[in-house]
Amino acid sequence: MTSAERHQWHRWQRSTEIHDEVLRLHRDGMQIKAIVRRLRVGRNTVRRWLRGAAPEPYRPRRSMLEPYLDLLERR
């Protein structure tokens, strides 16, 4: 795993933790505005997560060479 991929992975894990915290705080009765202030997350992000969306999963970067791999292997 490259450094950039590792950074992206940790960022996704952190988003997942924040997502879980948003759901917990809302379930405990906290308003969206208070959650936004407390966790420093965008209001639209909090609203989207409360509607059922989740943070996007980790996706490895696509290689620039991927479209040409067959050609390169043949050569």
pLDDT tens figures, 50-67 = 998 887 776 667 788 888
pLDDT above 80: residue 4: no
Residue 65's contacts (CB-CB under 8 Å, 6 or more residues apart) are 72
pTM of the model: 0.67
Q: Is residue 62 part of a domain?
A: no
44 touches 9 (CB < 8 A): no
pLDDT band at 22 (very low <50, low <70, confident <90, very high): very high
- Radius of gyration for the alpha carbons in the chain, expressed in angstroms and rounded: 18
Angle subtended at Cα 13 by Cα 22 and Cα 2, rounded to the nearest 5 degrees = 155
Domain range enclosing 16 = 3-57
With respect to residue 67, please indicate whether it lies within any of the assigned structural domains. Answer: no
The count of domains in the chain is 1
pLDDT at 34: 96
71 lies in some domain: no
